[in-house]
Amino acid sequence: MSSSDQITQQENASLGMSAQEFLAYCAAERERRQNSGEAFDEETFDQAIEMVLGKLRVLADEGWT
């Protein structure tokens, strides 16, 4: 299971709109890459998602959405 899939509904609801939109984009991009027939490093993709979500959480805690 990917890290973006591990985020629960409750955690998703507590994220700002930017993070929710980012997760929706990531889900679509993951599917696109998996179906492209080209090499896809899911581990690196998941790490990148976690890095961005970490920053978005900090920004949300500071009042940015």
Q: What is the pLDDT of residue 4?
A: 46
Q: What is the pLDDT of residue 6?
A: 52
Alpha-carbon distance of 34 to 30, in angstroms, equals 6
Alpha-carbon distance of 45 to 17, in angstroms, equals 21
Amino acid at 13: A
- Could you report the per-residue pLDDT of 23-63, keeping only the tens digit for each? 999 999 999 999 999 999 999 999 999 999 999 888 888 88
End-to-end CA distance of the chain: 27
- DSSP E strand stretches across 1-65: none
Per the structure, the complete domain to which residue 51 belongs is given by 3-61
Q: What is the pLDDT of residue 10?
A: 58
- Could you report the per-residue pLDDT of 14-26, keeping only the tens digit for each? 677 888 999 999 9
How many structural domains comprise the chain? Answer: 1
Structure tokens at 16: 């700002």
